[in-house]
Amino acid sequence: MEYHDKVLKCFECGAEFVFTAGEQMFFADKGFKNEPKRCKGCKSRRGTSTNTNTTGNFQRAETRTTCSQCGKETTVPFKPTQGRPVYCRECFQQRRAMGSSA
């Protein structure tokens, strides 16, 4: 397949940017189906600003929720999916221990 440079519009800032033939070939080699949505500037700002603290280390996003087993309020390092149980640390470790001993 032959690739040609494409001009795309950034989803965040609205600026136009070039999706080069080389980038398209790279995307195709990796099996990516979607074209990029953000220009390089917005993509790099998004990557550095959302999940880092002042020292540059990765910071987990914590979500407050209620344990599905004991009802205690707890925090988890992910966003719970509707319909799936969420456990506090103690209940999670109990369930893990029961699963490995069976």
As a whole number of angstroms, the distance between CA 20 and CA 23 comes to 5
Query: What average pLDDT does range 59-75 have in this prediction?
Result: 87
User: What are the pLDDT digits (tens) for 25-41?
Assistant: 999 999 999 999 999 98
CA dihedral 80, 85, 89, 91 (to 10 degrees): 170
DSSP 81: P
By the 8 A CB rule, do 61 and 79 touch?
Answer: yes
Averaged pLDDT of the chain: 85
- Parallel, antiparallel or unpaired: strands 16-19 and 6-9: antiparallel
User: What are the pLDDT digits (tens) for 85-96?
Assistant: 999 999 999 998
